Chain A
């Protein structure tokens, strides 16, 4: 009777090792599949989505939640974008675009970071260090630009209404002229995802609540948000998993 018990114990131990090895190998296989998959096709693959979101969620909570919040809701008082609303500044919100941001960051000093445009500080003597051609604006110019933006976003009523239509017209002229706003935000003010300039017509504001005061602050003192580069700090699989998790937050598949 003693012999079969020992054999049974050895078999159980072997089975345990086998299960652990199988789980390890399966995990590795899924990880390899996740990395080799075309990022565009991952949302169509339920197994990969489940694996990646399960893996990405804890990494997000450890490394990203300190700024973006545990649910990815962001914080407009600090210019931290909401990752749940499917409104994207850099790129169009594909897994590939998100992965690019996580890998190399925004104004992170990584050579491959997104770093093409910075909101000038128009209420200062030198609005931007990069382009000496951009002139400072006067307080009235800034008021006119704010009036134009409030009108554009349909937020005039929210801000008390009664905006002077001539101020709106002057603001529009500044936007398309000497202010140089069109250069980054586009002549239709709809932004440019290739350089991370926001759409000014959709009512979604990264900084503040879209109020007159918040817009004045942004135009007067400029903006230059930063996201660190995680390349070299997280594994490639970890970065892909976080990218998939972030994608899932705005696509209702985060579980």
Chain B
């Protein structure tokens, strides 16, 4: 009876040791002898990923593993091992403390890491709709307008006023322009998005044009280059988009805002836990 107990105890202990040994020598991050199946090499315990190896093979030689020659395989592996060794040496030499490129790359990499975390959290439609409701004006479609800009000489104020009064019922034709001795201004005359019309007209004229209804003319607007009269052929003001149409942009903006918030929080956290001493003269 006692022998059997000891035997069972021994079996249990042996099984435990075997399992512990197996785990110790194969677990990711602890293995010193066996290359994990997802990797192609261990360089001073640092793994070189199989996926990266395959990708590198594709990038360098345009072949997959099956079609790669032994020379190509070896070349890619050697290159990757060399790179890993140099990176490790770079850490030993602490190149980040002296090389601005390395510092820049590290800052960028950490920022990317933070953003990647934000990206992997998938917002629900409810969250997106709440965001959309708060920023609805951002998702209005761009307005469009077709506007004519008539420019009269500085001395033709009366003609400009007469033209402005008559343009409500008549669109400006080349014949009318010739009759009034007016010229066409910088507005293209074709249908334009609001942002483009603003660029062509300038802020002052655009703000007048924005308020004009279809087939109406503005009052004369004196400017340095002459007296302007705007005639609005058609004015489609920005229409608010519905959530379904704007969802894609809402999602991008929501994510960008999450990333921005996360970066600010991360910077604050790092600053909080850091021991920073500032020189007296800069305090």
Interface residues in chain A, defined as those with a beta carbon under 8 Å from any beta carbon in chain B: 10, 17, 31-36, 38-41, 66-67, 77-79, 94, 96, 99-100, 103, 105, 107-112, 123-125, 136, 138-140, 207, 217, 220-221, 223-226, 228-230, 233, 235-237, 239-240
B247 on interface, CB distance cutoff 8 Å: yes
Asked whether, in the complex, the Cβ of A140 is within 8 Å of the Cβ of B190, the reply is yes
- A125-B195, A223-B248 given; A229·B120 CB < 8 A: yes
Q: Which residues of A contact B252 (CB under 8 A)?
A: 224, 226
Given contacts A35-B38, A99-B51, A236-B38, contact A124 B195 (CB under 8 A): yes
Taking the nearest CB of chain B, how far is it from the CB of A227, in angstroms?
Answer: 9
Query: Which of B64, B190, B193 is close to A39, meaning CB atoms less than 8 Å apart?
Result: B64
Q: Give bound CA distance, A235 to B38, whole Å.
A: 9
Partner of B65, one of A32, A40, A230, A236: A40
Instruction: Decide: B195 and A139 in contact? CB cutoff 8 A.
Output: no
The stretch from B111-119, B158-166, B170-178 touching chain A is B111-119
Q: Which of B119, B196, B249, B259 has the most CB of A within 10 A?
A: B119
Q: Using Cβ atoms and an 8 Å threshold, which residues of chain A touch B66?
A: 38, 40-41
State the Cβ distance, B38 to closest chain A Cβ, in Å.
Answer: 3
Interface size on B, as a range, is 35 or more
Q: By the criterion CB–CB under 8 Å, are A236 and B116 in contact?
A: no
Which residue of chain A is the closest to B57 with respect to CB atoms?
A96
Residues of B within 8 A of A (CB): 8, 15, 37-38, 49-52, 54-55, 58, 64-66, 109, 112-113, 115-116, 118-120, 122, 141-142, 144, 188, 190-193, 195-196, 199, 244-245, 247-249, 251-252, 255, 259
Q: Which residues of A contact B144 (CB under 8 A)?
A: 139
Contact A139 B192 (CB under 8 A): yes
Residues B38 and A108 in contact, CB atoms below 8 Å apart: no
Select from chain A the residue with minimum beta-carbon distance to B11: A14
B87 to chain A, nearest CB (A): 14
Q: Given contacts A99-B51, A136-B196, are A38 and B64 in contact (CB under 8 A)?
A: yes
Residues B112 and A96 in contact, CB atoms below 8 Å apart? no
Given contacts A139-B191, A207-B248, A221-B249, contact A39 B38 (CB under 8 A): no
**CA distance in complex: A85, B51 (Å):** 25
**Nearest Cβ distance between residue A24 and chain B, in whole angstroms?**
10
Residues in A with CB closer than 8 Å to B113 are 109
- Our pick among B112, B199, B245 for the contact of A217 (Cβ within 8 Å) is B245
Given contacts A35-B50, A38-B66, A111-B112, contact A105 B193 (CB under 8 A): no
**B59: min CB distance to chain A, Å:** 11
A123–B142 touching, CB < 8 Å: yes
Docked pose: A248 CA to B276 CA in angstroms: 54
Among candidates A79, A124, A230, A236, residue contacting B49 with C-beta atoms closer than 8 Å: A236
Q: Chain B residues near A225 (CB, 8 Å)? A: 248
> Which of B15, B112, B142, B188 is A110 in contact with, Cβ under 8 Å?
B112
Which B residues lie within 8 Å of A77 (CB)?
A: 244, 247
Contact A35/B192 with A79-B248, A226-B119 known, Cβ cut-off 8 Å: no
How far in angstroms is the closest Cβ of chain B from A21? 8
Q: Is the CB of B116 within 8 A of A103?
A: no
| Nearest Cβ on chain A to B254's Cβ, whole angstroms | 11
Give the distance in Å from the alpha carbon of A79 to the alpha carbon of B115 in the complex: 21
Q: Which chain B residue lies CB-closest to A136?
A: B196
> Taking the nearest CB of chain A, how far is it from the CB of B227, in angstroms?
27
- Closest chain A CB from B198 CB (angstroms): 9
A79 CB, nearest partner CB in chain B, Å: 6
Residues on A with beta carbons closer than 8 Å to the beta carbon of B116: 105, 108-110, 228-229
